[in-house]
Amino acid sequence: MQIFRDGDLKSPLEYNGPREAAGIVSFLKKQAGPAFHALSDASAVKDFVKLEDDKDVVGAQRQLLAWSLRRNVRTYASSAGALRRV
């Protein structure tokens, strides 16, 4: 099986995930969602860390509303999508 991202039919990615129906559906739901999640407070971070799935990076920024930081978040979101594992 192969994954085609963003309509790119020339560069398919090999799918190496679960082969049973429930595993495939779970994997594809995660892939269809955002590549990163903004955690708004310490409680959200604590809940995130409790999750059993893989985590790669947790970043912290004090003032998410500052223009330069919003730009950094957009850059991170774009990079996270491009580097997402299959």
The mean pLDDT value of the chain amounts to 77
- The pLDDT of residue 56: 57
DSSP characters for 29-56? HHHHS-S-----SHHHHHHHHH-SS---
Predicted confidence band at 66 (pLDDT cuts at 50, 70, 90)? low
- Can you tell me the mean pLDDT for 39-46? 79
- Rounded CA-CA distance 28/86 in Å is 10
Predicted confidence band at 4 (pLDDT cuts at 50, 70, 90)? confident
In the chain, the percentage of residues whose pLDDT exceeds 70 is 76
- Please say whether the beta carbons of 84 and 31 come within 8 A: yes
- Bridge partners of 15, per DSSP, are none
